[in-house]
Chains A and B, each alone.
Chain A
Amino acid sequence: MEIQKLISSTLVLWLITGQVNMKNRFFITIFLLFFTYFFVPNFSHASNILIETESTNYRIGDIVRFDLYINTSGSLINTIETQVNFDSNDLKFFDFGDSDSVINFWIEKKSLPNVINLSGIVPGGFASEKGNLISLYFETLSEGKKYLTVKDSVVFLNDGEGTEEKIPDSSFTILVSNEVNIDVKKGKNYIKDIYPPETFTPEISRSSSLFDNKWFLVFSTKDKDSGVSHYLIKESRYKPFLFFKKWANSESPYILKDQSKSSFIAIKAVDKAGNERIEKLYPEKSRPLIEQISIGIAFGLIGLLLMFILYKILKKISEMGD
């Protein structure tokens, strides 16, 4: 691009200062028009996706981590979509690694046979020469040259209008043999994670555009080491009972079971190493006083019963001691 600018500006300068004759001016003008029309768009501010691995040589059964990066070439972008293609007979996909990703929220992060679809946003946009998009973990299945291709990629500028820019396709080749490669660290790299996922703030909301205006809960967090594996939720109208409730697998958005918003809610984020972060939401609405008194009386009666039983037991022990 810089060479193009240099050539163009030099030629323009010659034309302006009259250092070339009329005949040459005509040809130079034609050249400039041709050059600008056909070549400049191909090189202008194109973002591109880079693929890297720790090594290019692997054995059958090795774990390969493909790291995908984006070079925005100076553009401020806020949305990206890409498609990663591979041959399922050569490579078996088994995990995503997005703990260090610049993508804050994934719209799509889905693996299908031979293809992985990825799209996500960065609120406020970002510009980087090497922004970490995601890591993809594969197991090698057969020997020979194996290809990972990134195609149909687009980015959208952070300009308020969603201006689209295409990204050129790219690919990466690894060689799989039966030879032992001692440089490759087999296994997932997130086993050493001892830290829980980041703190987060779940939010209850509702919209006429979703779930028939029912109250739902949204939540999202990151784990900076191994990445978030899954979320679990439990709800209870009474806080002491929350402890005894079973955790249920869930994902955001989650429709509240208690639509009166009178329940205590606990959301647990679990990372891939099993570390947990629990956030709690307290009821926005307090329960009716009569309900609280009724429950209190019920617990009181149970307490009295237990006290009576305990008293009898202690009395018997005391009598036996005498």
Chain B
Amino acid sequence: MKNLLLISVYLLFILIPFYPMFIDAGPVSVTVSATVPSSGGGGGGGGGGGSSSSDVTSVTFSGRAYPLSKVFILKDGQIAASSIAGPNAVFQISLSNLSEGNYVFSVYGEDDQGRKSTLFTFPVFVTDGVNTKVSDIFITPTIDVDKSQVKKGDNIAIFGRTAPNSDVVISVNSPIEYFRNTTSDGSGGYLLNFDSSPLDMGSHHTKSKAELAGQISQYGKVLGFMVGNENILNNGDNFLRGDLNDDGKVNLVDFSIAAFWYKKTLTGDIINKEVERLNGDSKIDLIDFSIMAYNWTG
């Protein structure tokens, strides 16, 4: 008996230092269950809601993104869950282990080319013991162009991803706003060859929104291009605005960097970063934070 006790004490002391070798790396995060439903959801407006009594305080998000795209849920500005949409672009994600109170949730999608939608943000009051449902979310289409500058009179291809077989409205903004319609294919891809003839020389913007089964998304990201004397291809290495630490995300890290330089004279690398990824006025002010908040990925 005595020997057993001694061996136990000895083993305990021997094994303690090796304990860290056997544990997995990685921080703890919110308990999340995410499922991909097999059938599509119903139509509706720009996001609905509902609730039911439950033992667990939770919120369930559902709606449309792009086929097999990543969908991210942000809770108060930080990623709380992610999932993959089904082949029909429908997604459903649940967040549990929440306290009662007001939350600001955001949803966004990322297509197979890494293009991100705008955030769809909504405040929700979560009640203790109730499963709150946020349904009919229609994530905005992604958008891209084939040229950063188009020769006046040539076509510029405007394309992206949305839900399959959606009607897509593309706006090209200049002194006069031009609207063109197209339809997404079975995989959610859409393409419009826009004739630049009516556009003035200089800078222009384009954006798109989608409509499916009576549901209409908001306009997605605004993308700029130039009309000039020659074509310049879009090489796709545009910086993500607001990404100050080059990690392809705009989140609390970038916010912290910007907050450090807020109202201070910029020195060192931040000078170039401000020009490349913020509004380029050589200072960090609230306009830069607004740009960051618009491009937020969590």
Q: What is A's interface to B at a CB cutoff of 8 Å? A: 78-79, 81, 99-102, 104-105, 107-108, 119, 121-126, 128, 131-132, 154, 156-164, 195, 198-203, 205-210, 216, 218-220, 222, 224-225, 238-240, 252-253, 264, 279-284, 286-287, 292, 295-296, 298-300, 302-304, 306-307, 310-311, 314, 318
Contacts and interface: CB of A to CB of B under 8 A. Distances in A.
Interface string B44-84: 00000000000000000000000000000011111100000
Interface in B7-31: 9-10, 12-14, 16-21, 23-30
Contact of B76 (A209, A219, A222, A302): A222
Given A252-B256, A253-B260, A282-B24, A225 B244 contact: no
Nearest to A281: B27
A123 B119 contact: yes
B25 A284 contact: yes
Contacts of B13: 299-300, 302-303, 306-307
A102 B9 CA distance: 54
A162 to B, nearest CB: 3
Given A78-B293, A121-B289, A224-B101, 19 more contacts: A79-B290, A79-B293, A101-B102, A105-B255, A121-B255, A198-B76, A199-B30, A202-B27, A203-B251, A205-B247, A208-B268, A218-B256, A252-B252, A253-B256, A280-B28, A292-B17, A296-B14, A296-B17, A310-B9
A296 B22 CA distance: 13
Chain B, interface SS category: mixed
Contacts of A286: 21
B2 to A, nearest CB: 6
Given A160-B222, A205-B247, A282-B25, A104 B76 contact: yes
A296 B14 CA distance: 7
Nearest to B256: A253
Nearest to A201: B29
A68 B19 CA distance: 51
B138 interface: no
Contacts of B296: 123-124
20 contacts: A78-B294, A79-B286, A102-B104, A105-B252, A124-B108, A162-B288, A162-B289, A198-B98, A202-B27, A205-B245, A218-B252, A218-B253, A218-B256, A224-B100, A252-B252, A253-B260, A296-B14, A299-B16, A314-B2, A314-B5
Given A100-B101, A303-B10, A125 B76 contact: no
Contacts of A292: 17-18, 21
B289 A79 contact: yes
Contacts of A158: 290, 293-294
Given A123-B106, A220-B78, A238 B17 contact: yes
Contact of B78 (A132, A201, A300): A201
Interface in B266-283: 268-270, 273, 279
